[in-house]
Amino acid sequence: MNKLAYILEIIWLILSVLCLGIGVYTIISPKAETNFIFLLLSIISFLMYRVRRGRRLKKSAP
């Protein structure tokens, strides 16, 4: 079960980084329209990563 929690953490972290990259690209790119939804998704994904990590570490602590 602990491996599943760790895998979910990594998935949230990867999603956060990808959304941040896409968000920055859409803001910088002159041809693409500005979408702040990717930046919002990046923040939400990072917060989910922190919550999952905190719960996993708290659960595994003696």
Q: What is the pLDDT of residue 1?
A: 64
Which pLDDT belongs to residue 10? 94
Q: What is the per-residue pLDDT for 61?
A: 75
Tens digits of residue pLDDT in 20-57: 999 998 888 887 777 788 899 999 999 999 999 998 88
16 and 45 Cβ atoms separated by less than 8 Å? yes
Nearest CA to 45 among 20, 12, 22?
A: 12
Nearest 10 degrees: Cα torsion 57, 11, 48, 9: 0
What was the pLDDT predicted at 43? 95
- pTM of the full structure: 0.83
Q: How do the domains of the chain map onto residue ranges?
A: 2-57
| pLDDT given at position 7 | 92
